């Protein structure tokens, strides 16, 4: 235990996800010796964090503007919407460079035991988007484009109990939209993995989602 502000900083960092007491101590000592301007920058970024972050009014992604970078990008396919649990999942999918559509952030997954039902998630706004009532980003000259007709919803919730329950719920909810395809990201055996070490649920999902060899 140290005294005063140093210990306060160690305690605060220790509370963060993924930071153990040793890392917290290392960061605190680093900051103690760092250039005061660097520490000021960190402190002011932390101060601005909660006031400066907004949620995109179309997809609920974290955004510094009213509409996020992805929804505002007219080169992206507005007819395909990938549904994710959290904004951070968008970063993961974007890193693959595979997906050129839009997103919808639910803000979590169904978890009735912990009081998370459909009302606690951004489900209504998803249904409204598919109905074509929300994607109304004005173009540069201020005119509203025709709402895009969403033809495909790709459900990319986490492959765990809550994520699976959320995917089935959304599948049932969206099945009656005319002309809409609802798909779920395939899940299976990790690349570089070994069948012997794959759990049964993963293996059965991999069988279900098998694809023809090309
Ligand atoms: Zn957006």
Rounded CA-CA distance 163/3 in Å is 44
101 and 20 share a domain? Answer: no
pTM of the model: 0.74
84 Cα to the center of ligand 1, angstroms: 12
> How much is the average pLDDT of 57-67?
92
Q: What was the pLDDT predicted at 38?
A: 96
99 Cα to the center of ligand 1, angstroms: 15
Whether the predicted pLDDT of 57 surpasses 80: yes
Task: Give per-residue pLDDT as tens, 14-40.
Answer: 999 889 899 999 999 999 999 999 999
Q: What was the pLDDT predicted at 15?
A: 93
> How much is the average pLDDT of 73-86?
95
Q: What was the pLDDT predicted at 142?
A: 63
21 Cα to the center of ligand 1, angstroms: 37
| Residue of higher predicted confidence among 79 and 188 | 79
| Count helices and strands in the chain by DSSP H and E runs | 8, 6
Q: What was the pLDDT predicted at 134?
A: 47
Show the tokens assigned to 90.
Answer: 């968008």
120 and 182 share a domain? Answer: yes
> How much is the average pLDDT of 56-63?
94
65 Cα to the center of ligand 1, angstroms: 9
DSSP SS3 for 178: coil
Give the per-residue SS3 of the chain: CCCCHHHHHHHHHHCCCCCCHHHHHHHHHHHHHCCHHHHHHHHHHHHHHHHHCEECCCCCCEECCCCCHHHHCCCCEEEEEEEECCHHHHHHHHHHCCCCEEEEECCCCCEHHHCECHHHCCCHHHHHHHCCCCCCCCCCCCCCCCCCCCCEEEECCCCCHHHHHHHHHHHHHHCCCCCCEEEECCCCCCCCCCHHHCCHHHHHHHHHCCCCCC
Is residue 162 assigned to a domain? yes
56 Cα to the center of ligand 1, angstroms: 5
Please write down the long-range contacts of 50-56, taking CB distance under 8 Å and 24 or more positions apart.
Answer: 55/105
Task: Give per-residue pLDDT as tens, 129-185.
Answer: 888 654 555 556 666 555 668 999 999 999 888 999 999 999 999 988 888 999 998
Q: What was the pLDDT predicted at 5?
A: 92
User: Which CATH number fits the domain that encloses residue 203?
Assistant: 3.40.1360.10
Show the tokens assigned to 60.
Answer: 């609920």
172 Cα to the center of ligand 1, angstroms: 24
87 Cα to the center of ligand 1, angstroms: 10
- The range of the structural domain enclosing residue 34 comes to 5-52
> How much is the average pLDDT of 67-90?
95
93 Cα to the center of ligand 1, angstroms: 15
173 Cα to the center of ligand 1, angstroms: 22
What is the pLDDT of the chain when averaged over all its residues? Answer: 88
Q: What was the pLDDT predicted at 207?
A: 87
Residue 103: CB atoms within 10 Å: 26
Q: What was the pLDDT predicted at 192?
A: 83
Is residue 71 assigned to a domain? no
Show the tokens assigned to 64.
Answer: 């510094």
Whether the predicted pLDDT of 70 surpasses 90: yes
Q: What was the pLDDT predicted at 147?
A: 61
15 and 82 share a domain? Answer: no
45 and 89 share a domain? Answer: no
41 and 100 share a domain? Answer: no
Show the tokens assigned to 211.
Answer: 């694809």
Please, which pLDDT band fits residue 68 given cuts at 50, 70 and 90? very high
DSSP SS3 for 87: helix
167 and 114 share a domain? Answer: yes
């Amino acid at each position: 235990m140290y005294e005063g502000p140093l210990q306060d900083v160690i305690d605060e960092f220790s509370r963060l996800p993924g930071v153990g007491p040793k890392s917290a101590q290392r960061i605190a000592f680093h900051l103690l010796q760092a250039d005061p301007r660097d520490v000021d920058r960190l402190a002011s970024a932390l101060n601005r964090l909660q006031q400066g972050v907004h949620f995109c009014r179309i997809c609920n992604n974290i955004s510094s503007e009213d509409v996020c970078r992805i929804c505002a990008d007219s080169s992206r396919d507005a007819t395909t919407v990938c549904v994710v649990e959290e904004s951070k999942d968008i970063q993961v999918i974007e890193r693959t460079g595979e997906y050129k559509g839009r997103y919808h952030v639910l803000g979590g997954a169904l978890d009735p035991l912990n009081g998370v039902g459909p009302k606690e998630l951004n489900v209504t706004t998803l249904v409204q988007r598919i109905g074509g009532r929300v994607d109304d980003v004005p173009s540069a000259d201020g005119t509203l484009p025709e709402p895009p007709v969403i033809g495909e919803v790709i459900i990319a919730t986490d492959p765990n109990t809550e994520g699976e329950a959320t995917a089935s719920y959304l599948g049932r909810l969206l099945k009656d939209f005319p002309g809409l395809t609802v798909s779920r990201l395939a899940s299976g055996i990790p690349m570089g993995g070994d069948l012997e070490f794959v759990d049964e649920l993963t293996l059965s999902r991999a069988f279900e989602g098998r694809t023809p060899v090309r």
